[in-house]
Amino acid sequence: MTSPTRSVEIVRVAGAGRQTLGDRVAAEEPLAIRVDAEPYAVIMRTPGADRDLAAGFLFAERLIREPADVASIEHCADAAERENTVEVRLANPQAGLRARQRRREIASASSCGVCGRQSIDDLVVGLPAIVDDFAVSARIVAGLPARLRASQRAFDETGGLHAAGLFSSEGDLLDVAEDVGRHNAVDKVIGRALRRRQLPLARAVLCVSGRTSFEIVQKAAAAGIPLLAAVSAPTGLAIDLAERTGLTLIGFMRGDTFNVYAGARRVA
């Protein structure tokens, strides 16, 4: 399996001096996802947890909605393509065919995933209801970024990876994934939960590094996650989508302060 990091040679400049050193950087390679032997998408990602990434990505695309929709997810049998190709077989190929056609129609309308849809209403179709009897203390919420950072092993080597972590309402780390893409890291943890038959994640908190776009909110809402916290800021559409789905959205986490943009009732 390809490593998530790689060695490089660098020249470090400090004032008038320079020094040749070895360093570690994040790996970034394309992952081709095939559905029922047909090309579906190519994702630039950090190698590792590829089957989880494929499952999470197709779950967010609503191509699959539960483990029973998947017959198999495996790396390509061809040795030349194995490291960077995942083959997904659906239990109902006809449903997959219809979903792939719809995706092509959206892609041809615009380069933006939202603009090709009629409205924000289309983003919430089929999403599960998010539970209301869930709360997390402000103290625990404020401590999530530090706990997430402490679990970022590849970031320690490279300083160049995003992370997504699932936590309990008590702040215990349940799962974590790292990737050069924020969306990929989220897909990996949600895809792993899907494959473990743990969805919906109605009692989990998702904490992500970086900012929060509408895609991150959509992925969290699709997994039934009631609270999403991010180190940086959300976009306006991310806030709109959080309000529409009933998800609690937190951002700008700095020490013991943070902003609640939607669903403040869940912060105790």
Which candidate, 202, 197, 178, places its Cα nearest to that of 189?
178
- Which has the closest alpha carbon to 217: 230, 204, 201, 198? 230
Between strands 17-26 and 5-14, the pairing is antiparallel
What six digits make up the tokens of 141?
């919420």
Catalytic residue among 76, 112, 115, 207: 112
Note the helical H segments in the chain.
50-60, 93-109, 121-124, 138-150, 153-158, 182-195, 214-222, 236-245
Q: Is the distance from CB of 175 to CB of 166 less than 8 angstroms? A: yes
Q: How far apart are CA 251 and CA 255, in angstroms?
A: 12
76 included as an active-site residue: no
Q: What is the DSSP letter of 266?
A: G
Q: For residue 123, give both structure tokens.
A: 């983003």
Residues acting as catalytic residues: 112
